[in-house]
């Protein structure tokens, strides 16, 4: 049983799945709080929140499962992935496909209960991640741009899940979509330094499978410059909630401080060009999004 849970955790990439579900669940709460501030609802619908968490977990797990089926032969080549259940031979690709389909269908069915847009965005996310981003990883660094789209969809999905079914009632359609897109943009821009820092740290392992994720296909000054510039772009993008009036000054301050720290680590990478600096950028990226989203949740201003 312990081996089963260990294999299932590796199959769905549990830590990645948790981060995705966390992002969607927090932005659901952001959307709910905005409705409360408007006086549209009296409280958070925790049943819908739970449906989003379970459905999002299943859909994300399905996308990761399909990704591993497609890359099973490549996973055998990399130290980081060779012990996953399919490349290690503890699970067949047929079994993985059945599990992926069950999770995908069950998760989408749950999310459609919230509203149609949430279900459609989830299906789009699975297709883009598994069947566009995954094969592109060996062909071109443009895969990072493609992968950043499904990677940034969780906050959009979470917000739409919270407000989608009530848009016609509250008359805030344009404003709500604007907020949803801003939440998407913050996570979209964040994906680039996040991806590139990981690619820098794992470049030797990625090369064994032929993955081309760094901007210039190798650890060089240009790749470090791209990473640094992307952290600079993130700073003004992270201020959009305050600029458009649904975030307060606390989130603006935290976004600036966190963005400057992120940029400082990326600058150090550009100067030193070493693995230690890349790891600092990578770990900073892990904390950045949860921090910014949580502060925004408690600093809603409508």
Apex CA 74: angle with CA 218 and CA 59, to 5°? 100
pLDDT value for 1: 77
Considering only CA atoms, which of 120, 122, 150 is closest in space to residue 53? 122
**Helix, strand or coil, per DSSP, at residue 247:** strand
pLDDT value for 168: 47
Beta strands in 30-176 (DSSP E): none
Is the pLDDT at 240 greater than 70, yes or no?
yes
The residue-averaged pLDDT of 176-193 equals: 94
Considering only CA atoms, which of 123, 120, 118, 124 is closest in space to residue 163? 118
Contact 242, 251 (CB under 8 A): yes
* Cα–Cα distance measured from residue 77 to residue 202, given in angstroms and rounded to the nearest whole number: 13
Confidence of residue 36 (pLDDT cuts 50, 70, 90): confident
In the chain, the percentage of residues whose pLDDT exceeds 70 is 97
pLDDT value for 176: 85
pLDDT value for 2: 82
The residue-averaged pLDDT of 217-233 equals: 93
pLDDT value for 218: 83
DSSP 87: T
* Cα–Cα distance measured from residue 88 to residue 82, given in angstroms and rounded to the nearest whole number: 6
Among 71-80, 143-152, 209-218, 219-228, where is mean pLDDT lowest? 209-218
Compute CA 75 distance to the chain's CA centroid, rounded to the nearest angstrom: 21
Confidence of residue 279 (pLDDT cuts 50, 70, 90): very high
Is the pLDDT at 118 greater than 80, yes or no?
yes
Is the pLDDT at 197 greater than 90, yes or no?
yes
| Other Cβ atoms within 10 Å of 42 Cβ, number | 7
| Fold of the CATH domain 2-297 | Tetracycline Repressor; domain 2 (1.10.357)
* Cα–Cα distance measured from residue 128 to residue 206, given in angstroms and rounded to the nearest whole number: 21
Phi–psi pair at 262, nearest 5 degrees: -60, -45
Considering only CA atoms, which of 293, 124, 268 is closest in space to residue 193? 268
In the chain, the percentage of residues whose pLDDT exceeds 90 is 77
**Helix, strand or coil, per DSSP, at residue 21:** helix
Widest distance between CA atoms in the chain: 56
* Cα–Cα distance measured from residue 37 to residue 221, given in angstroms and rounded to the nearest whole number: 47
Query: Which structure tokens are listed for 151?
Result: 């990677």
Phi–psi pair at 138, nearest 5 degrees: -95, -5
The residue-averaged pLDDT of 140-150 equals: 92
* Cα–Cα distance measured from residue 108 to residue 55, given in angstroms and rounded to the nearest whole number: 6
Is the pLDDT at 167 greater than 70, yes or no?
no
pLDDT value for 166: 57
Is the pLDDT at 265 greater than 60, yes or no?
yes
- The residues facing 247 across adjacent strands are 300
The residue-averaged pLDDT of 155-169 equals: 78
**Sign of the torsion angle spanned by Cα atoms 33, 36, 42, 45:** negative
Question: Which residue is associated with the tokens 């892990």?
Answer: 286
**Sign of the torsion angle spanned by Cα atoms 263, 228, 180, 24:** negative
Confidence of residue 169 (pLDDT cuts 50, 70, 90): low
Tens digit of each residue's pLDDT (9 = 90 or more) over 38-48: 877 788 999 99
pLDDT value for 288: 96
Considering only CA atoms, which of 205, 263, 217, 210 is closest in space to residue 238? 263
- The residues facing 300 across adjacent strands are 247
148: enclosing H helix or E strand: helix 143-163
**Sign of the torsion angle spanned by Cα atoms 116, 292, 26, 13:** positive
The residue-averaged pLDDT of 153-162 equals: 93
């Amino acid at each position: 049983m312990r081996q089963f849970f260990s294999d299932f955790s590796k199959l769905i990439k549990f830590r990645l799945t948790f981060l995705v579900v966390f992002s969607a669940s927090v932005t659901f709460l952001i959307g709910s709080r905005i409705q409360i501030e408007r006086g549209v609802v009296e409280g958070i619908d925790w049943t819908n929140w739970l449906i989003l968490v379970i459905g999002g977990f299943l859909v994300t797990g399905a996308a990761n499962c399909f990704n591993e089926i497609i890359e099973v032969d490549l996973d055998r080549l990399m130290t980081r992935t060779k012990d996953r259940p399919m490349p290690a031979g503890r699970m067949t690709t047929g079994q993985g496909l059945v599990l992926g389909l069950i999770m995908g269908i069950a998760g989408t069915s749950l999310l459609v209960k919230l509203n149609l847009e949430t279900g459609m965005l989830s299906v789009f996310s699975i297709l883009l991640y598994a069947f566009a981003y995954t094969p592109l990883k060996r062909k071109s660094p443009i895969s990072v741009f493609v992968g950043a789209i499904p990677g940034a969809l969780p906050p959009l999905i979470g917000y739409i899940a919270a407000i989608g079914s009530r848009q016609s009632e509250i008359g805030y359609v344009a404003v709500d979509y604007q907020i949803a897109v801003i939440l998407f943009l913050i996570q979209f821009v964040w994906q680039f330094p996040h991806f590139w820092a990981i690619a820098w740290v794992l470049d030797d392992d990625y090369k064994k499978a032929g993955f081309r994720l760094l901007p210039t296909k190798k650890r060089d000054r240009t790749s470090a410059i791209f990473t640094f510039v992307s952290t600079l772009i993130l700073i003004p993008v992270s201020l959009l909630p305050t600029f458009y009036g649904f975030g307060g000054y606390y989130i603006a301050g935290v976004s600036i401080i966190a963005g400057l720290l992120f940029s400082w680590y990326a600058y150090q990478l550009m100067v030193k060009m070493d693995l230690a600096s890349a790891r600092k950028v990578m770990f900073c990226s892990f904390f950045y999004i949860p921090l910014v989203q949580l502060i925004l949740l408690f600093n809603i201003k409508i």
